Structure 1
Amino acid sequence: MATSCQYEFQRKLFGFSDSNPETFYTSQWFQCRIAFLCYRIFMFLYSLIWTINTTIYYVPKFPNYYGFLSNWAEWSLVAYFGVSLGVAMYGVVTRNSDREMSEGSRVTKFFKDRLQWFHRLSWVFFNAVISANILVTIMYWSFLSHKGNNAEAANIHQHAMNTVLMLIDLFIIAIPIRLLHFIYPMLYAIVYIIFTLILHGAGVMSVYYSDLLDWQSLPGLSTGLCVGMAVVAIPIVHCAVFGLYHLRAFIARKVLPHDSAQPDDDGQQNPTFQMT
Structure 2
Amino acid sequence: MMETARPCTKDEFRVKNFLLDYDRPRDFVTFQHCGTTVAYLIWRLFWALFHVVCIILSGVYSWQWAGHDPQQQVKWFIYLTDWCYFVLTVSTLVDAACVIYIYFCRTDIRNDISNEMTWYLKANWVIFNIANSAAVVVTLLYWGLVYTGGSVTVIDVFTHGVNAVYVMVNLGVTSVPVRFYHFFHGVLFGITYVIFTVIYYAAGGTNHQDKSYVYPVLDWSDPGTTIAYAAASILIAMPLCHFLLYGIYALRRCTSRQQSASYPV
1:39 aligns with 2:43: yes
Q: Which residue of 2 aligns with 1:106?
A: none
TM-score (norm 2): 0.86
Distance 1:243 1:74 in 2: 23
- Cα deviation for residue 3 of structure 1 reads 5.1
In structure 1, give the amino acid aligned to 2:145: F
- Cα deviation for residue 14 of structure 1 reads 0.5
Q: Which residue of 2 aligns with 1:77?
A: 88
CA contact (8 A) 1:20 1:263 kept: no
Match of 1:55 among 53, 56, 59: 59
Q: Which residue of 2 aligns with 1:273?
A: none
Match of 1:66 among 74, 77, 96: 77
- Cα deviation for residue 233 of structure 1 reads 1.2
Unaligned runs of 5+ in 2: 207-211
Residue by residue over 1:60-108, the C-alpha shift from the partner in whole angstroms, topping out at 9 and shown as x without a partner, is 54442211100101111100000000111122103556799xxxxxxxx
In structure 2, give the amino acid aligned to 1:34: V
Residue by residue over 1:176-200, the C-alpha shift from the partner in whole angstroms, topping out at 9 and shown as x without a partner, is 1110000101111011111111111
CA contact (8 A) 1:130 1:163 kept: yes
Distance 2:97 2:238 in 1: 27
Match of 1:209 among 212, 215, 218: 215
Q: Which residue of 2 aligns with 1:119?
A: 121
Distance 2:262 2:9 in 1: 17
Residue by residue over 1:9-62, the C-alpha shift from the partner in whole angstroms, topping out at 9 and shown as x without a partner, is 211100112331101111102252111000000000111101111111116544
State the secondary structure of the residue aligned to 1:237. helix
In structure 2, give the amino acid aligned to 1:213: L
CA contact (8 A) 1:23 1:263 kept: no
Runs of 4+ in 1 over 6 A off after TM superposition: 97-100
1:138 aligns with 2:140: yes
Q: Which residue of 2 aligns with 1:190?
A: 191
Match of 2:246 among 242, 252, 268: 242
CA contact (8 A) 1:137 1:160 kept: yes
TM-score (norm 1): 0.83
CA contact (8 A) 1:127 1:182 kept: yes
In structure 1, give the amino acid aligned to 2:226: S
Identity rate, percent: 26
State the secondary structure of the residue aligned to 2:148. helix
CA contact (8 A) 1:2 1:246 kept: no
CA contact (8 A) 2:135 2:163 kept: yes
CA contact (8 A) 1:213 1:225 kept: yes
Q: Which residue of 2 aligns with 1:164?
A: 165
Distance 1:90 1:146 in 2: 45
Residue by residue over 1:114-145, the C-alpha shift from the partner in whole angstroms, topping out at 9 and shown as x without a partner, is 11111011111111111111011111111222
CA 1:265/1:98 → structure 2, altered by over 3 Å: closer, same or farther? closer
In structure 2, give the amino acid aligned to 1:55: G
In structure 1, give the amino acid aligned to 2:154: A
State the secondary structure of the residue aligned to 1:207. coil
CA 1:98/1:139 → structure 2, altered by over 3 Å: closer, same or farther? closer
CA 1:99/1:141 → structure 2, altered by over 3 Å: closer, same or farther? closer
Residue by residue over 1:221-276, the C-alpha shift from the partner in whole angstroms, topping out at 9 and shown as x without a partner, is 11111111111111111111111111111222xxx3xxx4457444xxx9xxxxxx
Distance 1:78 1:165 in 2: 12
State the secondary structure of the residue aligned to 1:81. helix
State the secondary structure of the residue aligned to 1:132. helix
Distance 2:237 2:6 in 1: 24
